[in-house]
Amino acid sequence: MIVFVFTGQAPLILLVALLILVYLTGLELWQEKDLEFLIKAFWVLLVFLLHVFGYAVFRIWLAMRRRNASTSRGPGAGGRP
């Protein structure tokens, strides 16, 4: 999105890709019930501004968060021993 602001134009395919990534981000965050609204809004706006790079950072953060949550529950709760 930042590049679009600088150039003043955006190809249609990139706008569609941006909307898809923002939708996927919102869909993933919808499943995270224990996150505050401001954190969810931060990630949606970050993906909106940074496009593919922002989505990659979001996916890495989400994977690390889910991994830490599963290991903190212990071996009897579905985590690895």
For residue 79, tell me if it sits in a domain. no
* CA 58 to chain CA centroid, nearest Å: 4
For residue 80, tell me if it sits in a domain. no
For residue 35, tell me if it sits in a domain. yes
54-80 burial code (b ≥16 CB/10 A, e <16): bbeebeeebeeeeeeeeeeeeeeeeee
66 compared with 4, residue with greater pLDDT: 66
For residue 54, tell me if it sits in a domain. yes
Total count of domains within the chain: 1
The pLDDT of residue 5 is 74
The pLDDT of residue 1 is 66
SS3 category, 81: coil
Q: What is the pLDDT of residues 27-56, one digit of tens each?
A: 999 999 899 999 999 999 999 988 889 999
* Mean pLDDT confidence for 10-37: 91
Question: Structure pTM?
Answer: 0.74
Domain that holds residue 50: 2-72
Q: What is the pLDDT of residues 65-80, one digit of tens each?
A: 999 988 887 665 554 4
